Amino acid sequence: MGELQIPQWCMATAEHKRLGANPVNTATSRTTSSRTATSGTATFRTAVVRTPGGPDAIEIIDVPVTEPGPGQVRVRVAAAPVNPVDLGVAGGFFHAAGLIDQPAHTGLGWEFAGTVVAAGPGAGLAPGTRVAGLVDGFDRDFGTYAEQLVVPVTALAAVPDGLDLVTASTVPLNGLTAAQILDLLGDAPAGANRLLVTGAAGAVGGYLAALAPERGWQVTGLARAEDEEFVRGLGAGFTTRAEPGWDAVADTATLQEPALALVRDGGAFVGVRPNAVPAAERGITVAVVMVHPDSSRLSGLLARAASGGLPARVHAALPLDRAADAHRALAKGGVRGRYVLRP
Ligand SMILES: NC(=O)c1ccc[n+]([C@@H]2O[C@H](COP(=O)([O-])OP(=O)(O)OC[C@H]3O[C@@H](n4cnc5c(N)ncnc54)[C@H](OP(=O)(O)O)[C@@H]3O)[C@@H](O)[C@H]2O)c1
């Protein structure tokens, strides 16, 4: 695949306008999440794009409820975070890249938390179980911005008591990405364990900075000056401007070639843009993460979030109808913690 133009949704500038944090809004959430159309078919609401074109292209449509098959559950979604990838889907970046070819509409949202309302044969999860999960892949007609979702149990894990569903929903996509970046990096070599995490104040970067010491990495986070307290609070070193010479760089800020240039000869680089991997140079091992579901891993990450060992952050909760507003706000940059939709 050829090099693509870097879209607005994954670019970042130091001049991003900061948005004031809003309190989590539970007053607008719905308590019922399916209704019966005049035809007698039960339906639920979900956000999609028919013709991509940014936030204005997001539509809320009614679709029929489907029953879970073998190994699947139907979940009443309580929370669905808005992530940078969703801006790319709504804006048509992944359509242009040839990764989406939906005949009618494309679903939005990769992660969720909610409650099991129906279980298919062999699913092994009782209705009433609180769960969080990852729906991966670009080319799909429905996403997690929905009142209901039918998903395989292999894509989710139970949410531990003491962790609310809005916070839990922010763990699957970016927690698993951080863990899978660590799989690519492996255990830190003895005497060569200096890891620079670019974008350490972001979702992936924050989780990675928290998890990497377990594999022996000594982490320094590259972030904005105003993020110093957060990054140091993770136990990481902090810098706003890194010099070259790192044993490894995990580039969650998508700086790309400038981040590769910070790796020492023979070191390691892990990127987060599978469609734009910097060319290897100077004996550096170059890898790129593509997140995939992992139920048992997710279970551990949720437990860690419940005990305060993972920085799961919510910026604000909004009703599903405000998905486009959340996209506009995220596109401006500088948001810390996720916008979470409450369908
Ligand atoms: N390949 C995969 O499987 C996968 C999975 C998940 C995520 N991703 C990708 O990973 C990237 C990060 O996702 P995320 O959810 O962590 O995004 P995020 O929460 O927006 O975090 C990105 C962070 O990088 C910071 N940043 C950007 N440029 C910087 C710079 N020059 N210096 C210092 N900090 C800088 C941002 O700060 P400002 O907000 O101030 O710019 C922000 O704190 C996205 O591109 C996402 O699409 C890939």
Taking only the tens place, the pLDDT of each residue in 202-255 is 999 999 999 999 999 999 999 999 999 999 999 999 999 999 999 999 999 999
Backbone angles phi, psi at 153, to 5 degrees: -65, -20
Residues 203 and 318 in one domain: no
Pocket test for ligand 1, best of 204, 301, 336 (most atoms within 8 A of CB): 204
* Cα(223)–Cα(284) distance, integer angstroms: 23
Contact 247, 264 (CB under 8 A): yes
Residues 150 and 89 in one domain: yes
Q: Classify residue 189: in a domain, yes or no.
A: yes
Pocket test for ligand 1, best of 16, 18, 85, 234 (most atoms within 8 A of CB): 85
* Model confidence pLDDT, tens digit, residues 287-308: 999 999 999 999 999 999 999 9
CA of 294 to the centre of ligand 1 (A): 22
Q: Classify residue 299: in a domain, yes or no.
A: no
pLDDT tops 80 at residue 5: no
Model pLDDT, residue 21: 28
CA of 159 to the centre of ligand 1 (A): 25
Q: Which atom of ligand 1 is nearest to the CA of 13?
A: 41
The residues, ordered by sequence, that sit 6+ positions from 238 with a Cβ below 8 Å of its Cβ are 200, 220, 221, 223, 227, 228, 231, 232
CA of 31 to the centre of ligand 1 (A): 33
**CA–CA distances in Å: residue 306 to residues 9, 57, 165:** 30, 36, 11
Q: Classify residue 295: in a domain, yes or no.
A: no
Residues 160 and 73 in one domain: yes
The residues, ordered by sequence, that sit 6+ positions from 295 with a Cβ below 8 Å of its Cβ are 153, 154, 155, 156, 157
Backbone angles phi, psi at 81, to 5 degrees: -65, 155
**CA–CA distances in Å: residue 179 to residues 165, 175, 186, 301:** 21, 6, 10, 9
Residues 73 and 123 in one domain: yes
CA of 169 to the centre of ligand 1 (A): 18
pLDDT tops 80 at residue 16: no
- Domain span at residue 216 reads 174-288
Q: Output the CA angle 23-26-31, nearest 5 degrees.
A: 170
Contact 101, 107 (CB under 8 A): no
Q: Output the CA angle 312-271-301, nearest 5 degrees.
A: 25
Q: Classify residue 103: in a domain, yes or no.
A: yes
Residues 163 and 233 in one domain: no
CA of 248 to the centre of ligand 1 (A): 18
Q: Classify residue 3: in a domain, yes or no.
A: no
Tell me, using a 6 A CB cutoff, whether residue 106 lines ligand 1.
no
Report if pTM > 0.85.
yes
In the chain, the number of structural domains is 2
User: CATH no. for residue 264?
Assistant: 3.40.50.720
Residues 147 and 219 in one domain: no
Q: Characterise 311 by phi-psi region: left (phi > 0), alpha (psi -120 to 50), beta (else).
A: beta
Tokens of 127: 């209705």
Residues 74 and 42 in one domain: yes
* Model confidence pLDDT, tens digit, residues 122-167: 999 999 999 999 999 999 999 999 999 999 999 999 999 999 999 9
* Model confidence pLDDT, tens digit, residues 307-318: 999 999 999 999
In sequence order, which ranges of 38-139 are alpha helices (DSSP H)? 84-91, 93-96
Contact 170, 80 (CB under 8 A): no
Q: Which atom of ligand 1 is nearest to the CA of 12?
A: 41
To which residue do tokens 């044993």 refer? 247
Model pLDDT, residue 35: 74
Q: How confident is the model at residue 174 (pLDDT cuts 50, 70, 90)?
A: very high
The residues, ordered by sequence, that sit 6+ positions from 206 with a Cβ below 8 Å of its Cβ are 200, 230, 231, 234, 311, 313
Q: Classify residue 297: in a domain, yes or no.
A: no
CA of 331 to the centre of ligand 1 (A): 12
- Dihedral sign from CA coordinates of 288, 292, 296, 298: positive
* Cα(90)–Cα(94) distance, integer angstroms: 9
Residues 181 and 317 in one domain: no
Model pLDDT, residue 33: 59
Residues 118 and 244 in one domain: no
Residues 128 and 46 in one domain: yes
Tell me, using a 6 A CB cutoff, whether residue 250 lines ligand 1.
no
Contact 118, 74 (CB under 8 A): yes
Contact 43, 61 (CB under 8 A): no
Give me the DSSP letters along 271-311: ES-TT-PPPP-TT-EEEE------HHHHHHHHHHHHTT-S-
Tell me, using a 6 A CB cutoff, whether residue 220 lines ligand 1.
no
Q: Classify residue 77: in a domain, yes or no.
A: yes
Instruction: Provide the 3-class DSSP secondary structure of residue 175.
Output: helix
Closest CA relative to residue 298, chosen from 308, 306, 286: 306
pLDDT tops 60 at residue 75: yes
User: CATH no. for residue 135?
Assistant: 3.90.180.10
Residues 150 and 133 in one domain: yes
Residues 136 and 60 in one domain: yes
Tell me, using a 6 A CB cutoff, whether residue 12 lines ligand 1.
yes
Instruction: Provide the 3-class DSSP secondary structure of residue 105.
Output: coil
Tell me, using a 6 A CB cutoff, whether residue 274 lines ligand 1.
yes
Average pLDDT over every residue of 172-186: 98
Q: Classify residue 300: in a domain, yes or no.
A: no
One-letter amino acid for residue 130 of the chain: R
